[in-house]
Amino acid sequence: MGSATSDTPASEPAARGRKPLTDAAETGLKIVVVGGFGVGKTTLVRSVSEIRPLNTEEVMTQAGVGVDETDGVRGKTTTTVAFDFGRISLNDRLVLYLFGAPGQERFWFLWDRLFSGTLGAVVLVDTRRMDDSWYAIDRLEHHRTPFVVAVNRFDDDTARHSLDEIRLALALPEHVPLIDCDARVRTSGKHVLVTLVDHLYQLALAQESTP
């Protein structure tokens, strides 16, 4: 013990290029980016984030109900889930955090936690693996988390399905915005976020006008 102050080199986060928030920052907001493996979640987060995306993990110790399919081992259900996040300072007071969450079914418990209090979600779709998006969309609807769907166009996607075709394939209701994007490009990533928040704004307006 007593060694707490002896590790100064390692405990100087500023020296490592960590970018602190302003002292006036008071409200953290969340947007979740979901999608299958390799669809570009981290790429999208990186393209708009003011910090290099960080990775953290949650150890989930669940006492039970329907956890995984490793059945028989009740009580021994500790799972570690890693996820990436980035940050955007919207102004001096508001800070938006973007979370990249794996969309697969076995991560449902992480979602429940991530989604609590989230503004909304972006479902990132790879048209070559559309199946990966269904579960994500289903869960968002279940949670009543408002979302938009962004199709990350990959250069080697030869099929080039139209947005109408994709809407049909995903059985996506008309009121859910569906857009193209290139997750690598900052302006495109920014457009995805603006589309989502604009959608949220319209929903909030409609709600406010119906007492």
C-beta neighbour count of 25 within 10 angstroms: 15
Of 64-72, 147-155, 162-170, 194-202: span binding other proteins (CB under 8 A):
194-202
Q: Is 46 in the site for other proteins (CB under 8 A)?
A: no
Amino acid at 30: K
Please check whether residue 60 is in contact with residue 78, taking contact to mean a CB–CB distance below 8 angstroms.
yes
Q: Is 161 in the site for other proteins (CB under 8 A)?
A: no
Please check whether residue 79 is in contact with residue 68, taking contact to mean a CB–CB distance below 8 angstroms.
yes
Sequence-ordered alpha helix ranges (H) in the chain: 41-48, 108-115, 131-143, 163-169, 186-209
Calpha distance 153→108 (Å, rounded): 26
Q: Is 23 in the site for other proteins (CB under 8 A)?
A: yes
Amino acid at 124: L
Q: Is 109 in the site for other proteins (CB under 8 A)?
A: no
Q: Is 2 in the site for other proteins (CB under 8 A)?
A: yes
Using the 8-state DSSP alphabet, how is residue 105 labeled? Answer: G
Give the nearest distance from C-beta 52 to other proteins in angstroms: 10
Which CB, 16 or 175, lies closer to other proteins?
16
Binds other proteins by CB under 8 A, chosen from 37, 38, 55, 68: 55
Binding site for other proteins (CB under 8 A): 1-5, 7, 10-11, 13, 16, 18, 20-23, 25-30, 48, 54-59, 61, 80, 85, 87-91, 94-97, 99, 113-119, 143-145, 186, 190, 193-194, 197-198, 200-201, 203-205, 207-208
